[in-house]
Amino acid sequence: MTERLSVGEAILGANERLAAANRQALDQAGVYSLNLMASPGAGKTSLIERTLQALSGSLRLGVIDGDIATSLDADRAAAAGAAAIQVNTGGECHLDAVMIQPALEQLDLSSLDLLIVENVGNLVCPASFALGTHKNVLIASVPEGADKPHKYPGMYRGIQALVLNKIDLLPYVDFDQSFFQQGVEALNPGVVSFPLSCRTGEGLAAWLGWIEAEVRQFRQAHARHAASPQP
């Protein structure tokens, strides 16, 4: 019997293999990594800037910035003190593992502790393409509206942490927090969440503490792995 494999499945399969290779490169170098996803303008670059400002004294940070056409976001990350690489996707609405691989080669991974990838602003495509990073983080934001988990379930299902940015706008925008939370819980029960404002700094401490704990845990696991005898 003839086996059918759709082109879409083949592409995603190839992407998974490359994502595994990217993960291996990051693990070997001891670099913990996050894939930041969000709709356009939700505050990905703003959160990266805030994170760099707060953590660059204690962690060595790198940023890979995915953008359809410009280097504006990588310029902002570099100005905030990170080793930053721009990946222009040439019109693609997401980053994939193939695009991340050369960026990892360009960065000196041995000089980094934490790598943050800013994905292309989009709530659909990035959810389908693993990059090889350790965790997926979604930044939702108050002005987008509370219905987004209900409308973009794939994105909300595939994340390990959720940021709700722009809470400084809650008094001015209709945002039904319980409807938002209901959607999140239905898709991703118990996902760790950080309501915050990149503008005022409210809530940032919890986000930064989570990253520091993640890096600590990763280092401990990495040290245990390095110490265990190889077959």
Shortest distance (Å) from residue 67 CB to Mg ion: 7
Cβ proximity to Mg ion, 117 vs 184, nearer residue: 117
Shortest distance (Å) from residue 29 CB to Mg ion: 25
Cβ proximity to ligand GTP, 133 vs 197, nearer residue: 197
Shortest distance (Å) from residue 35 CB to Mg ion: 14
| Residues across the chain | 231
Q: Which stretch, 65-73, 138-146, 150-158, 162-170, contacts Mg ion (CB under 5 A)? A: 65-73
Q: Rule CB under 6 A: say whether 86 interacts with ligand GTP.
A: no
d(CA 221, CA 203): 28
Q: Rule CB under 6 A: say whether 166 interacts with ligand GTP.
A: yes
Check if the beta carbon of residue 129 is closer than 8 Å to that of residue 37. no
Total interface residues for Mg ion by CB under 5 A: 3
Answer for which of 27, 49, 73, 144 binds Mg ion (CB under 5 A) is 73
- First-to-last C-alpha distance (Å) of the chain: 40
Task: Scan residues 167-196 and list those touching ligand GTP (CB under 6 A).
Answer: 168-169
User: What residue type is assigned to position 57 of the chain?
Assistant: G
Q: Which residues of 95-106 are buried (b: 16+ CB within 10 A; e: fewer)?
A: bbbebbbebbee
| Alpha-carbon distances of 17 from 13, 57, 111, 158, 192, rounded to whole Å | 6, 35, 25, 18, 28
d(CA 65, CA 68): 10
Task: Scan residues 31-60 and list those touching ligand GTP (CB under 6 A).
Answer: 38, 40-46
**Token pair recorded at residue 203:** 């809530």
User: What residue type is assigned to position 35 of the chain?
Assistant: N
**Token pair recorded at residue 59:** 């962690």
Q: Rule CB under 5 A: say whether 49 interacts with Mg ion.
A: no
Q: What is the contact surface with ligand GTP in residues (CB under 6 A)?
A: 38, 40-46, 73, 121, 165-166, 168-169, 197-199
Q: What is the contact surface with Mg ion in residues (CB under 5 A)?
A: 44-45, 73
